[in-house]
Structure 1
Amino acid sequence: MSPALTLVRAGRAEWSRIWTVRSSWIFAGALLVVVLGFGAVIGNDASGDPSEITPGSTAWDGIRFTGMFALFGLVAMAAVIATADNATGGIVPTLQWTPRRGILLAARTAVVAGTTTLLGLLSMTAGAVVVWTFVPFLGLPLDDGAALVGEMGVVLACGALLGVGLGLATRSTAAALVLAIALLLVGPLLLAQLPYDWTLSVSTHLPGSGALFLIFGEGPSDDMTTTSARLTMVAWSLAALAAGGWRLLATDADH
């Protein structure tokens, strides 16, 4: 069988594996509830006091506040999916079915990251619609929506790739989640509060700070830019994937 057909077959298997695991449906449902719930809260608050709305805002801006929650949910979901067959021992039959580990790596990365990113973007789009139902005068202009989806697509895609990479590298759901929380939340916030220049610099170069800047336009340092934030997130995602890919390709599956 050609590599292309093997990749397609492996991709289909990965897609089926995602949606035959109960945890995937739980994560997807929880993400949708959280995003729509926050959309309702934001919309209700805005309708109660329109004077607090920033001039020029649209319903799309309301869902920026759900961006970090969506990011955490997707990273966790990607990490859980990436480690699921290691936790159950299913990685052995998986490699028997797809012995070319490079193809398995490509299929798992593309399907898991693509699925979770798309799920996040659809959830946030639905959240914007919920905000709009409460404050219809804000509108849902397509150009603003396309711009926001593009911005959030970068954040969510990098987060999903980070989750897959950490999952493949650690082969442990708990370890992958702990590392993700440290890199996206605890590390940036803690280091930014310490009274040292070097801790602020380290905080600025963590993926959580990059995500924060891209979503809200603010970060721990005034030196951050959109380009630097994107490069930070991309670099961490690629580093995590490189580590995870090396472990999948070079070490025994059950170790």
Structure 2
Amino acid sequence: MSPALALARTGRAEWSRIWTVRSSWIFAVALAVVVVGFGAVIGHDAAGDPSGVTPGSTAWDGIRFTGMFALFGLVAMAAVVATADHATGGIVPTLQWTPRRGLLLTARTAVVAATTTLVGLLSMAAGAVVVWTFVPHLGLPPGDGLALAGEMGVVLLCGTLLGVGLGLASRSSAASLVLAIALLLVGPLLLTQLPYQWTLTTATHLPGSGALFLIFGEGPSDDMTTTSARVTMAAWALAALAAGGWRLLATDADR
């Protein structure tokens, strides 16, 4: 069997595995409800107080503020999906069916990250439509929608890759979720409250600070830029994948 055909077959299996796990549906539905719900709140507030709407903004701008909620939900979903068969012992028959671990690593990473990122972008698009129904004069320009998808796509993709990497490295849903929350939320918030320059510098280089800057345009340091924030998120995602990939490739799968 050619490598391309084997990768396609493994990718299909990973896709099926995602949607046969109940937690995947729970995360996807919960994420959509939260994002769309916040879209309704944002739209209702904008309709009730038009003076609070920034001139020139669109419904896409309104839904941007749900980006952090989407990020947390997708990172959790990616981590849980990546560790699901380790928790159940299903990783053993998985590797018997796909003994080439590098192939499994590639397919699992690509399918989980792409699927969860798409779920996030579709949820945000639905939320933007809800905002628009409350304040139709803001409009839904396709160009702005594509721009938002490109910007948020980077954030969500890096976040989901981080979740997959943490899941593969820890092989524990609980441990990977704790690590993700520490890196994306607790770490940046805690370190920025301490009166030391090194803690502020450390906070700036955590993935949560990069996500915050890319979504809201501000972070713990005035020195942050769009490029530095993207590099920070990508570096953490790649480091997590390297750790997770090493453990999958080099250690016993059921330990």
Q: Which amino acid aligns with 2:90?
A: G
Instruction: Describe how 1:194-213 pairs up with structure 2 within 5 A.
Output: 194-213=194-213
**1:177 equivalent in alignment to 2:177:** yes
Q: Which amino acid aligns with 2:73?
A: G
CA-to-aligned-CA distance 1:107-129 (integer Å, 9 cap, x gap): 00000000000010010011000
Match of 2:161 in 1: 161
Q: Which stretch has the larger CA shift, 151-160 or 4-13?
A: 4-13
Q: Which amino acid aligns with 2:17?
A: R
Aligned equivalents of 2:41, 2:215: Cα separation in 1: 19
Aligned equivalents of 2:64, 2:215: Cα separation in 1: 6
Q: In angstroms, what is the RMSD of aligned CA positions?
A: 0.5
Q: Which amino acid aligns with 1:90?
A: G
Aligned equivalents of 1:16, 1:237: Cα separation in 2: 24
Aligned equivalents of 2:156, 2:133: Cα separation in 1: 25
Aligned equivalents of 1:142, 1:217: Cα separation in 2: 22
Q: Which runs of 4+ in 1 moved over 2 A?
A: none
Aligned equivalents of 1:182, 1:112: Cα separation in 2: 22
* TM-score, normalising length: structure 2: 0.99
Match of 1:48 in 2: 48
Aligned equivalents of 1:192, 1:231: Cα separation in 2: 20
Q: CA deviation at 1:253?
A: 0.3
SS in 2 for 1:144: helix
Q: CA deviation at 1:57?
A: 0.7
Aligned equivalents of 1:170, 1:22: Cα separation in 2: 21
SS in 2 for 1:93: helix
SS in 2 for 1:123: helix
Match of 2:90 in 1: 90
Unpaired stretches in structure 1, ≥5 consecutive residues: none
* TM-score, normalising length: structure 1: 0.99
Aligned equivalents of 1:196, 1:56: Cα separation in 2: 39
Unpaired stretches in structure 2, ≥5 consecutive residues: none
Q: Which amino acid aligns with 1:110?
A: A
Q: CA deviation at 1:3?
A: 1.4
Match of 1:238 in 2: 238
Match of 2:150 in 1: 150
Number of residue equivalences: 255
Q: Which amino acid aligns with 1:148?
A: L
Aligned equivalents of 1:20, 1:49: Cα separation in 2: 44
Aligned equivalents of 2:120, 2:105: Cα separation in 1: 22
Q: Which stretch has the larger CA shift, 71-80 or 5-14?
A: 5-14
Q: CA deviation at 1:170?
A: 0.3
Match of 1:72 in 2: 72
Instruction: Describe how 1:3-82 pairs up with structure 2 within 5 A.
Output: 3-82=3-82
